[in-house]
Amino acid sequence: MKKRFPIILLAVASLLLAGCFSSKKATKGQRGQATILATEDPFKSTDEVTINFKKMKEKEWNYPLEDAKLISPFGGKRPNHKGSDLKTKAKDKVRAAFKGVVTFSGEMSGYGNVVFISHETGLETRYAHNLKNLVKKGDKVKPGDVIALEGKTGNATTEHVHFETRIGGQAFDSELIFNHKKHELREVKLTATKKNGTIDIKVK
């Protein structure tokens, strides 16, 4: 047995060098990347996706942060700002905007604590900088379900919710579908068209 011990150590070392074992602790920029549930590509069998928000009943949507003030719009002075920053106060309840499935709940670089939700319409919503996430990957949520508490984790200097809306991975201004001043869903029809790898999103 004593003779075999150095051989076992060499074998383990070889496996580690080969990458057969990996740490469960991800680096800051990698946290959660490998645990995102795949969101079905809405453009898999078509080049145009339409979501008619005009036909949505009141119980089919919910404003993500009640009585919030928009403190930073989509884009704005920051071209890479892919969401709308909504603020009330620390630990306020963050709610799911629509019915869907949680595809990610955890910590991610920049976002801090963030929740991704995939919706049946092909829409994806994201809720970032949370103090605490209250749902886990795979959970089914309804409009108005509490999914997190407002915080300032990640790249945030004050408590708020960074709210994103996406289709096919393409972020678009949530103001197109939500009136952030009145906290209401707009009565619009959204059309997303994919051509040559580019997604164009319009409402009318």
| Residue 20, domain member (yes or no) | no
Nearest to 118 by CA among 79, 165, 185, 61: 165
| Residue 33, domain member (yes or no) | no
Nearest to 108 by CA among 22, 23, 30: 30
| Residue 28, domain member (yes or no) | no
Nearest to 105 by CA among 65, 70, 69, 153: 153
Per-residue pLDDT tens digits for 51-108:
999 999 999 999 999 999 999 999 977 778 999 999 999 999 999 999 999 999 999 9
pTM score, whole prediction: 0.83
| Residue 6, domain member (yes or no) | no
| Residue 11, domain member (yes or no) | no
CA neighbours closer than 13 Å in the CB half-sphere of residue 20:
8
Per the structure, the complete domain to which residue 82 belongs is given by 38-203
Q: What is the domain count for the chain?
A: 1
Q: What CATH number did the domain enclosing 45 receive?
A: 2.70.70.10
| Residue 14, domain member (yes or no) | no
